[in-house]
Amino acid sequence: MSDRVLVVVPTYNEAQNLEPILDRLHAAVPTAHALVVDDGSPDGTGELAAGLAAGDPRVHVLRRTAKAGLGAAYMAGFRWAREHGYEVVVEMDADGSHAPEQLPDLLSALGSADLVLGSRYVPGGGVTDWPAHRLLLSRAGNRYTRWALRLPLSDATGGYRAARAELIDRLPFDDVASQGYCFQVDWAWRAVRAGARVSEVPITFTERTFGRSKMSGSIVVEALVRVTLWGVRDRLADWLPGRVRRPVPARGTERSGTS
C-alpha cells in the first residue's frame, strides 16, 4: 500500500516495551510512521519516546499530562493523524501483544475495506499465553456484544486495526463516551452502522512479556454495562421510532456532519 500510514501507539508505563515494538514495526513496514501517545507515564516512557523521535523522523510523540483512558488517547491520535495528512491510521498496542509482523496483512486488506480488524476469533486467528478463564471471558464478551448490538463481527473488542482516514472523518467521535477498552466496540459499531466496509483478518494475540496488563474488573464491568444499555436503546428505537434516540445512528439517519 502506497498511502501514508500512521501507527498510533498509546503508552502508559511501557518503557521496557516501546523501543523493541517500534524496531519490529519498522522492520515489518519500513515506510510506516508511529505516533506514541503517552499519558504522563511515571516510568519515563514519554522521555524515551522523545529520544527515539529525535533520532528517527518516522517516530513522533504526543505527550499528555495525565492518564485519560485508551479511547481519549486514540481520539487524540486520530486528530493528530488527520492534521498531518496521513491517509491510513492503525491502532496497535505497545506491549507486543499485537505483532507488527502481521501489519502488512491488515494494510493489504484495506484494498477492499474501510476498516480492517485484526481478529483472534476468525479461522487462522488465535491467542497464546492466556489462562483459560481470560480466553473464556473474551470469547463470551464478543459473543454477547455480537448478539446485543446485532454486530456482524467475530472480534469487536480487539485493539489491532487499520482504517482509512476518510472513515475516521465520517464518524461522530466527538460524542464517544466510552474512554476505556469499550471504545473499540463503540467505534467498530459506528463504522458498521455508517455502512463502512469492515473486514476481519486473522491475527495471533500474544500476552505481554514486560509490565502489567491494563485490563481490570472495572473495565470489564464498564464494557458489559455500556453494551447492554446500547443494545436495549437500539431495540427500543425499533419499537418506539421517533421516541427513543438510537445510541449510534444507522446509515441514512446520521446527524448533520456524518455520512
Quick check: is 193 in a domain?
yes
Let me know if residue 182 belongs to a domain: yes
DSSP H helical ranges for 12-131:
15-28, 45-55, 70-83, 103-109
Query: Does residue 152 form part of some domain?
Result: yes
Q: Is residue 255 part of a domain?
A: no
pLDDT in tens, 74-121: 999 999 999 999 999 999 999 999 999 999 999 999 999 999 999 999
Here the CATH number for the domain that contains residue 122 is: 3.90.550.10
Pick the more confident residue, 127 or 258.
127
Domain total in the chain: 1
pLDDT at 45 over 50: yes
pLDDT over 70, % of the chain = 90
pLDDT band for 254, please (50, 70, 90 cuts).
Answer: very low
Q: For residue 233, what is its C-alpha cell?
A: 436503546
Sheet arrangement for strand 59-64: 59-64, 33-39, 5-11, 88-91, 161-164, 115-119, 198-202
In a domain, 128, yes or no: yes
Residue 250 lies in a domain: no
Residue 22 lies in a domain: yes
Sign of CA pseudo-dihedral 145, 39, 207, 191: positive
Please count the other Cβ atoms lying within 10 Å of the Cβ belonging to residue 74.
22
Q: What is the pLDDT of residues 97-110, one digit of tens each?
A: 999 999 999 999 99
Class of residue 135 by CB neighbours under 10 A (exposed 0-12, middle 13-18, buried 19+):
middle
Residue 249 covered by a domain:
no
Domain encompassing residue 30: 5-211
